[in-house]
């Protein structure tokens, strides 16, 4: 789902294992956005 600035991925267990998005972004730095 694409909500403009936010994209939501909805996967089943097999798809999560295949794409491994958590592993891709595991080492990404967290950015806090305050408005």
pLDDT in tens, 1-35: 778 888 888 899 999 889 888 888 788 888 898 98
The Cα angle at residue 9 between residues 3 and 35, in degrees rounded to 5: 45
**pLDDT attached to residue 24:** 80
Write down the pLDDT at residue 12: 92
> Degrees (nearest 5) of the Cα angle 3, 1, 16?
135
pTM of the model: 0.44
Return the pLDDT at 14: 94
- What is the domain extent for residue 15? 1-35
Strand partners, 7: 2
Domain count along the chain: 1
Q: What is the pLDDT of residue 22?
A: 81
């Amino acid at each position: 789902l694409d909500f403009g600035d936010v994209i939501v991925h909805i996967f089943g267990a097999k798809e999560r294992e295949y794409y491994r998005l958590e592993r891709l972004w595991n080492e990404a730095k967290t950015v806090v956005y305050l408005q």
